[in-house]
Structure 1
């Protein structure tokens, strides 16, 4: 019907004459053809033959032409390849080695490999890190890749872990102590108090080896609590700007993954010399804080100091919680331990009341844990609720961090502060306008103050409308790190600086060094380099992304093994997209996607508002974010680790 269309003939003639070029991103399909995406509204067809010259994600310039009455793009020039360094599988064809990139839209792409490895050591399916050295559009009309790192054999149970860690340039193993000439011992003997006679205790998971913190508490003469928080002191062994310090700085965090922990420090430090093990004398940085019966911190009596302690009991969260809840058979071994547990529980109670009144408290959410075999097979998933012992230690550490923020501000005026600005001016206005629709009146300038922000959140918690609370949280900024004291709106605090996890967080090592510099009376103490903030922030983001990707893979393995299609489960709507919704299964914690086509028979009657977090049918709201719904599992896709479901 378009064959003799004069307008199309005119356009074709014009295109052929001028060789019009367009720039965009190549998008593959499950078929062999693809498209060049100029923007979200405009795409041009790329034939299967020409798709062999490009890869999904490449930014290219192409020549626009018309063939068989269809606008088509012929790839001409590479602007930026999508593949640079990438993870892939070994694929052997006769005597040649190819690498298949590990991307959903590159399942059929195999790139010839320039290999410095012994080919006989490589097997089909083994994982490697490759670097693209030749692109079809740039050099010699072909693709080539060079292996720069062997990651793991296909048969290794930890293969998925190592592949994901490599993808995000994260370490796969603990630091190798053999590479360090020595562990530096700064030995602050003259400054350290001997507190080994005091009944310090640790409370942690029963299998924890890297124990950061211990507590000791007693009553004062005027019935206040004297709480001493003792924190492991790895800076006793790690001097600034040494090779070991550089390793810790590069890693920035201990990486806790399901079935695999990769420590920030060598295990001889994290699990032995620094860990506050039962009956072992250990160097610590300690804080003694007086808390009155109303939960107030008496800052005039606050003291930081160096000490040696000996943990008298390594307690577990479960045993302490069971004892406090009067369940189970465990009992403290003596009256001193019993008294300590009772006192720190009382501190938790009065400090919680103080924070509810003067700051903000957390909304408790369950943690989902994977039960894995030695071969890293998923045996099950269980929910781990935060019990009273978790909350007790958390409250003690929050108190310690508030004290550190005060100490650093008073003595230096700088440190690594955890901050949160609440709302920026644009989102404060948007949040205020949103609330007004529900007759909740908060002015934008009001909720940009710490007092107003706390007032808003307390109001919303009492309102018990999860949808409104969810939308307001969407308007909030992300937490940041600052070199100068700033408010932390999400905690409802004027200042907050962490120092209680130096075995697993490099930012806490920095604050340790600053506090110790003050205690030693040093002058001209330097402010940390601002670049460290960017590095720590980027590392934390990579750890989180890698952790989520691994969880998605584990969930797919679990559902492939234990669940069949058409099973019914309950879930909470967590997000609204343009073409469907995301739901989190309450029983297991997995995220599933429900496409529009599985929500309503007539797709044209559906409308998704991503900003408001609602779904319309016939112009009427049918679903809100935070709604609990029943879903039916339809398919589990291994190629991109997604679970597809439908609404019942």
Structure 2
């Protein structure tokens, strides 16, 4: 009776109106409670019953109730919903339809209706769908979603790929082809078809967008890099060009790719196939015997004809004197041997004057016809990979120099080194480790390169791992700027125009210079769009990898197999590691570190884990671990065995 008393309800409302309110973001936890994040330094507890009214990421206004020293937030009004749509799985109970989000922070299943064109009767438990939020519990009595699209059936072996693409709103297929592909570019081209160009790619690659030719000279080498010219078939501003700009990149996932351009262009007309005449732009560069790139390089509109299609494995085996494969003729043998010598000289020059990348393996998923993971291969960068890499770096460096000097603009890959707001703390840390770089030099390209070279000489990777927290993010800029991460004054990529829209834009700028025509302006918003799309691509790559790791490791759970893991992060909850055998990211919770009653202290600031005041683990360290628990994809728990030497 008291529950329906209008006078009591009025008194409660009056009391509520006297309480303070705060605006903030809802942060859910893995358990049923959450927090209202009001600022970086202020958050208020949200009890489980109140969390049923909101979603992780919602921006809300909440009433703050305080009893003693404890405060609780009661959601009052929705200011901005965190989600409009999401990917989830069908859940049927007593013939009632609901959708369970593929997100551990969206815990409860949502009541669901179906949009026009969706047959509710055909939806079964476990089917993957896209659902749109049509009613929010803060605005009505409960959450309701509308199912708008079937993504994949529960038993579809390709479900992981379709779900990841849908989750990140990436296209599922290549752009539609045109009925005809006329050559739009009528500018005269130099005939380079007799030059012995060769391609080196993975054996399965179809979209071959660069070819290399090298010739020894008295004081070094002439290096020529030919790059496919898709602009010859795609008019700037056309519907196909706008679609390529929106996609921004070819999406590469284990076992498949979704190209930026129609496959008829990417895999055929623009691909630098062996024995086929193709339009290209060729950069002719001179590399001295000590590995220095002479400036300026010469760029030419040309016709080329690749004379050999090679793959990384066979070329590396040949140069490392393994296996039986040999080049078809003496010209190709000479090409590979000279490119090998040029690569060694370039790497030595970059070690002394710039920065050479550390050798970290790529991890390749081997899948069977049913899409199941058969094996995960750790593939290190062998000599053939390094040869192509050095040729492309030289070509992109030459492009950056030309665009900076002739136009003063382009699409430049930039990196400022360390975050300017963290330089004082960084200098203090480096001083503790006697690093030979002064505070004022940390913001300079030369100082950054000097520090990186010094770090490679250290006995452990501990300090290098700590410095990652001080790093600035790489980005893109229309105006020239240094790329500290590569140790170069400017760097503009143009060697993958079939796969990257930014490279296509830079190619158009190069062609405008060569044809003595006005260079097209670059919209300011393009750099942000490309950066955003790159982030989406990387998240999709990570998500599908997490899914496949989960499927691959599941049968090994409970086995005694040990993995070598490298620590890349330490926080108050535990230690994050990477399994070096297969590349999977895993987590060691604090509860699995301690033995008996010993106290574990995890120091994020130092990047170390202490056990009974003794340093046990630190960033960059390797240790032996075993699988402990597999939750949903992306949550692999491991337990330590003993430190590896």
Shift of 1:204: 0.9
What CA distance in whole angstroms lies between the structure 2 residues aligned with 1:29 and 1:475? 28
3-state SS of the aligned residue for 2:145? strand
The equivalent position to 1:284 in structure 2, one of 273, 280, 284, is 280
Shift of 1:324: 0.7
1:602 and 1:434, CA in 2 relative to 1: closer, same or farther beyond 3 A? farther
Counterpart position of 2:4: none
1:536 and 1:24, CA in 2 relative to 1: closer, same or farther beyond 3 A? closer
Counterpart position of 1:119: 120
Counterpart position of 1:435: 430
Shift of 1:256: 1.0
Structure-1-length-normalised TM-score: 0.91
The equivalent position to 1:588 in structure 2, one of 582, 593, 599, is 582
The equivalent position to 2:532 in structure 1, one of 533, 538, 541, is 538
Shift of 1:569: 2.3
Alignment of 1:552-571 (within 5 A): 552-564=546-558, 567-571=561-565
List per-residue Cα deviations over 1:43-81 (Å, max 9, x = no partner).
Answer: 445354x554434444444445689x9976554322333
Q: Do the aligned partners of 2:110 and 2:143 also contact (CA within 8 Å) in 1?
A: no
Q: Do the aligned partners of 2:88 and 2:131 also contact (CA within 8 Å) in 1?
A: yes
The equivalent position to 2:381 in structure 1, one of 380, 383, 386, is 386
Counterpart position of 2:613: 619
List per-residue Cα deviations over 1:387-413 (Å, max 9, x = no partner).
Answer: 101101111111111111122122211
3-state SS of the aligned residue for 2:565? strand
3-state SS of the aligned residue for 1:427? helix
The equivalent position to 1:321 in structure 2, one of 316, 321, 344, is 316
3-state SS of the aligned residue for 2:457? helix
Q: Do the aligned partners of 2:114 and 2:148 also contact (CA within 8 Å) in 1?
A: no
Q: Do the aligned partners of 1:58 and 1:78 also contact (CA within 8 Å) in 2?
A: yes
Counterpart position of 1:295: 291
Shift of 1:24: 4.9
1:218 matches 2:215: yes
Q: Do the aligned partners of 1:36 and 1:46 also contact (CA within 8 Å) in 2?
A: no
Shift of 1:31: 6.6
Q: Do the aligned partners of 2:260 and 2:500 also contact (CA within 8 Å) in 1?
A: yes
The equivalent position to 2:185 in structure 1, one of 180, 184, 187, is 187
Counterpart position of 1:418: 413
Q: Do the aligned partners of 2:247 and 2:533 also contact (CA within 8 Å) in 1?
A: yes
1:565 and 1:43, CA in 2 relative to 1: closer, same or farther beyond 3 A? farther
What CA distance in whole angstroms lies between the structure 1 residues aligned with 2:444 and 2:267? 43
Q: Do the aligned partners of 1:614 and 1:621 also contact (CA within 8 Å) in 2?
A: yes
Counterpart position of 1:255: 251
Alignment of 1:4-43 (within 5 A): 18-21=18-21, 23-26=23-26, 42-43=43-44
Q: Unaligned regions of 5+ residues in structure 1, if any?
A: 1-11
Q: Do the aligned partners of 1:591 and 1:643 also contact (CA within 8 Å) in 2?
A: yes
The equivalent position to 1:240 in structure 2, one of 233, 236, 239, is 236
1:412 and 1:30, CA in 2 relative to 1: closer, same or farther beyond 3 A? closer
3-state SS of the aligned residue for 2:341? helix
Counterpart position of 1:480: 475
Counterpart position of 1:196: 193
Counterpart position of 2:5: none
Counterpart position of 1:101: 101
Counterpart position of 1:336: 331
List per-residue Cα deviations over 1:299-355 (Å, max 9, x = no partner).
Answer: 25x310111111111011111111111111111111111111111111111111221
What CA distance in whole angstroms lies between the structure 2 residues aligned with 1:217 and 1:409? 26
List per-residue Cα deviations over 1:70-95 (Å, max 9, x = no partner).
Answer: 97655432233333211112234566
List per-residue Cα deviations over 1:9-35 (Å, max 9, x = no partner).
Answer: xxx999679355455555656776666
What CA distance in whole angstroms lies between the structure 2 residues aligned with 1:335 and 1:167? 51
What CA distance in whole angstroms lies between the structure 1 residues aligned with 2:471 and 2:254? 29
Alignment of 1:148-187 (within 5 A): 148-177=148-177, 180=178, 183=181, 185-187=183-185
What CA distance in whole angstroms lies between the structure 2 residues aligned with 1:589 and 1:238? 39
Q: Unaligned regions of 5+ residues in structure 2, if any?
A: 1-11
Counterpart position of 1:445: 440
**More deviation, 248-257/20-29:** 20-29
Counterpart position of 2:639: 646
Counterpart position of 1:637: 631
1:305 matches 2:306: no
Alignment of 1:500-519 (within 5 A): 500-519=495-514
Shift of 1:265: 0.7
List per-residue Cα deviations over 1:184-225 (Å, max 9, x = no partner).
Answer: 53133x4211121222111111111010111122234x4532
What CA distance in whole angstroms lies between the structure 1 residues aligned with 2:43 and 2:408? 53
1:71 and 1:389, CA in 2 relative to 1: closer, same or farther beyond 3 A? closer
3-state SS of the aligned residue for 1:436? helix
**More deviation, 456-465/36-45:** 36-45
3-state SS of the aligned residue for 1:448? coil
Q: How many residues in Structure 1 have an aligned counterpart in Structure 2? A: 628
1:71 and 1:207, CA in 2 relative to 1: closer, same or farther beyond 3 A? closer
Counterpart position of 1:361: 356
Shift of 1:459: 1.6
1:41 and 1:482, CA in 2 relative to 1: closer, same or farther beyond 3 A? closer
What CA distance in whole angstroms lies between the structure 1 residues aligned with 2:301 and 2:574? 56
1:624 and 1:33, CA in 2 relative to 1: closer, same or farther beyond 3 A? closer
3-state SS of the aligned residue for 2:456? helix
Q: Do the aligned partners of 1:597 and 1:603 also contact (CA within 8 Å) in 2?
A: no
1:153 and 1:14, CA in 2 relative to 1: closer, same or farther beyond 3 A? closer
What CA distance in whole angstroms lies between the structure 2 residues aligned with 1:113 and 1:396? 56
1:184 and 1:151, CA in 2 relative to 1: closer, same or farther beyond 3 A? farther
1:480 and 1:45, CA in 2 relative to 1: closer, same or farther beyond 3 A? closer
What CA distance in whole angstroms lies between the structure 1 residues aligned with 2:510 and 2:249? 20
What CA distance in whole angstroms lies between the structure 1 residues aligned with 2:607 and 2:291? 39
Shift of 1:359: 1.3
**More deviation, 593-602/488-497:** 593-602
Q: Do the aligned partners of 1:60 and 1:78 also contact (CA within 8 Å) in 2?
A: yes
3-state SS of the aligned residue for 1:395? helix
